[in-house]
Amino acid sequence: MRCGLLGRKLSHSYSPQIHSYLSDYSYVLYEKEPEQVGAFLQSREFDALNVTIPYKKDVIPYCHALSPAAQKLGAVNTIVRRQDGTLIGHNTDHFGFLSTVEKTKISVSGKKVLVLGSGGASVTAVAVLRELGADVVTISRSGENNYDNLSNHSDARLIVNATPVGMYPNNGASPVSLTLFPQLEGVIDMIYNPARTALLQEAASRGIVAENGLWMLVAQAKESAEWFLGQERSNDLIPYIYQKLSRHMQNIILIGMPGCGKSTIAQALSRRLGRQLIDADSYLVEKVGRTIPDIFAKDGEPTFRQYETDVLEDLGKKSGIVLATGGGCVTRPENYHLLHQNGMIVWLQRPIEALPTDGRPLSQQNNLQDMYQRRQPLYQAFCDCAVLNNGTPDIVANEIINLLQLED
């Protein structure tokens, strides 16, 4: 079977990877300009398609029939060529979003839910939530309910972000502040890059459900595969693919005391996993054009720390890299959000007596034991897991890979 994805800009799409887990049909990216879409659909050089931005409505006139979900949402993200050559259009975003709401385990019936944005993703979310019995309010910049009168909805129990605010490369932006909503049980952000938007990090810091858009992406693909193949696929594939992709997309970030072996273990991880390796200190030296001892000597530590935060702002946005950080990056709380937005943070531990001090300005100035006492709670707070660096680089790298379940 020849399947694929029709859209305008597809270079960052995860769909080929997701569909490779769903079946063995070929899955091609069809990047088309608007004026090419009609001819492409009429060419019939495909058996089945997914459709993405900006063509989910444009393809409708080329479909000879629409499924009830596609009719209801006025958008098609799945097209199947039938035996007689005609096209049927369906919408699997509906299933994808429904499955996401179910994953949160929040019962929305009778509760107020705010859906931010009024585009295609919003229409899907509103339809699903209304079917589930929620009292849905769409928040639109130009609507009656907008960002200036959010306080009218302080009783909201769930917020769904269906805007691109906070999406790569504009990481860190957030459409609303959650302080306005004391009864909130959860937030669903349809964005999946970064894995944890500023909005989701705020939700997590309040201890409420924080779900990104990756589950929806995988679940809609699973239902698309069923349409492509004309047969059911197991629902168990959704968590399986979600876990795989989620780990693949996130950075592996090493933190720990100066000299604990972050660069060496990062190299071993990069080799083993075929991931790009970036050393934050080397990146900083290249970007600023000065050595770290020179920055410390001439400008002092606060200037260095600001350079470091600027660097982590760039690097934290990346996906799927191995990142070795400088030992003191945990001293600034804002660095946590930059690293955590797309990363699994590993604290690499090594006995203090084994830590080298050559070429490390702070290790030479400060008693390492004092530094460790100060930083230990910070490493603890930043990390998702800790690993003792007491074997060969390959053994320690393997331990990290196992701990983070990066391989089958």
Q: Is residue 175 close enough to count as binding ligand NAP by CB under 6 A?
A: yes
Q: Cα angle at 59 between 122 and 44, to 5 degrees?
A: 140
- Bridging pattern class, strands 87-90 and 65-66: parallel
| Minimum distance, C-beta of residue 215 to ligand NAP, in the bound complex (Å) | 8
Residue of 4, 7, 89, 117 interacting with ligand NAP (CB under 6 A): 117
Token pair listed for 51: 């459709």
Q: Is residue 26 close enough to count as binding ligand NAP by CB under 6 A?
A: no
Site string for ligand NAP, 65-94 (x = CB under 6 A): ----------------------------x-
Q: Is residue 96 close enough to count as binding ligand NAP by CB under 6 A?
A: yes
Q: Looking up tokens 């982590």, which residue turns up?
A: 312
Q: Is residue 118 close enough to count as binding ligand NAP by CB under 6 A?
A: yes
Bond preceding residue 169 cis, omega within 30 of 0 = yes
**Residues in 212-271 that interact with ligand NAP by CB under 6 A:** 213, 216-217, 220
Q: Stretches 23-31, 57-65, 157-165, 244-252: which one binds ligand NAP (CB under 6 A)?
A: 157-165
| Minimum distance, C-beta of residue 103 to ligand NAP, in the bound complex (Å) | 12
Q: Does residue 56 have an active-site annotation? A: yes
Residue of 4, 7, 89, 120 interacting with ligand NAP (CB under 6 A): 120
Size of the site for ligand NAP (CB under 6 A): 25
Q: Is residue 378 close enough to count as binding ligand NAP by CB under 6 A?
A: no
Q: Looking up tokens 């444009």, which residue turns up?
A: 58
| Minimum distance, C-beta of residue 173 to ligand NAP, in the bound complex (Å) | 8
Say if residues 341 and 316 touch (Cβ distance below 8 Å): yes
Q: Looking up tokens 């970030």, which residue turns up?
A: 253
Amino acid at 316: G
- Burial label, 160 (beta-carbon count in 10 A; 0-12, 13-18, 19+): buried
Phi, psi of 80 (to 5 degrees): -120, 135
Q: Is residue 197 close enough to count as binding ligand NAP by CB under 6 A?
A: no
Phi, psi of 174 (to 5 degrees): -135, 135
Element at 288 (helix H, strand E): helix 280-288
Q: Could you give the residue numbers annotated as active site? A: 56
What does the binding site for ligand NAP look like in residue numbers (CB under 6 A)?
Answer: 53, 93, 96, 117-122, 140-142, 162-165, 167, 175, 190-192, 213, 216-217, 220
